Amino acid sequence: MNVLQRIYEISEIPTLPEILLKVQELINSESGNAEFLSKIIRQDPSLSSKVLKIANSAFFNTGNQRVSSLSLAIARIGFNEIKNITTAITLIKHLSKHSDIIDYKVFWRHSLSAAYLTQTIAGILPQKMTQEELQICFLAGLFHDMGILVYDQFFHKEFEKIMEYALTKEHSFLEAERMVAGKETHQMVGSALLEMWKIDSQVISGVRYHHAFEKAPINHCLIVAITYLSEYILCNWALGSFEGTIQELNKNVWNYLAISPDSLGDLIAKAEAQVERADLIMAM
């Protein structure tokens, strides 16, 4: 199919929106604070409106006191959470299109749920992760299926063949993709796009190996294991995914994360809560 070779030749491949670049720059700076972030968000009236709506939703407005100021909204939601919300809303707005194959609401609901679930998994690990590492987890989850979006928007005929194979042969999307696309899976296509965007290499590994933990680079195994487990939970318990079930969990993931398989039930319950959080943002 030569998709990976052709992706670098497509002039219409989207770039990261400017406001998202500014948010990411702020996140990585030492001077990042709520006031700087509010100035960035104010540049996009639509984004500002959504942030205020989220701050006044039942999820965050537990005291039933409305806020009308963006600075107060950021203070209520929290600096780290507002970075996640801003990133997600900006991407969804910039990269969603009409499709006769993908329901983009379902796609982004799954991606956003995965982003939050990666942070949930990171939060139960014996080793405490830094805010920078938690942000990397979030991005790996949010971007993990980006290759499916690229297939749909820029290699639509190839994507139709994969979906047709899945339907006629009654295979999962993952099985159909391997049969039709070979090595040019959505993981490889998505990671190629992130390389073009110059995204952090750990995020790229999380995307490239989220169905193949055993192939992950040693120095990126932690992020990959977290993204892999997040995807396993969401796919196998039908929490927003259309890819089909993952037949067998790589047991080395539990050992690498240093958590017990007995924690799976608790993680599934927490995953359902993160799907609800994703629904809140999608509703805005």
> pLDDT per residue over 210-240, tens digit each?
999 999 999 999 999 999 999 999 988 877 6
CA distances from 278 to 14, 18, 88, 93, 120 (A): 24, 23, 10, 15, 13
- Taking the CA of residue 31 as centre, how many other CA atoms within 13 Å lie in the half-sphere pointing to its CB? 4
pLDDT value of position 150: 94
Contact yes or no for 239/269 (Cβ under 8 A): no
Reported residue count of the chain is 284
Give the mean pLDDT of 70-89: 90
Give the mean pLDDT of 139-166: 94
> How many CB atoms are closer than 10 A to CB 142?
25
The domain made up of 99-284 is a member of CATH 3.40.50.2300: no
pLDDT value of position 24: 77
As a whole number of angstroms, the distance between CA 53 and CA 170 comes to 42
Take residue 194 and report the two structure tokens written for it.
């992130």
Give the mean pLDDT of 9-21: 82
DSSP string, 209-243: TTT-GGGS-GGGHHHHHHHHHHHHHHHHTTSS--S
Contact yes or no for 71/32 (Cβ under 8 A): no
As a whole number of angstroms, the distance between CA 192 and CA 207 comes to 10
Contact yes or no for 110/234 (Cβ under 8 A): yes
State yes or no: pLDDT of 160 exceeds 90: yes
Q: At what angle do helices 79-95 and 70-77 cross, to 10 degrees?
A: 110
Whole-prediction pTM value? 0.92
**CATH 1.10.3210.10 domain locations along the chain:** 99-284
Residue type, 209: Y
Q: Which of 119, 108, 131, 81 is nearest to 226 (CA)?
A: 119
**Higher-pLDDT residue of 151, 3:** 151
State yes or no: pLDDT of 50 exceeds 90: yes
State yes or no: pLDDT of 30 exceeds 70: no
**Higher-pLDDT residue of 88, 284:** 88
Contact yes or no for 187/207 (Cβ under 8 A): yes
Give the mean pLDDT of 94-119: 92
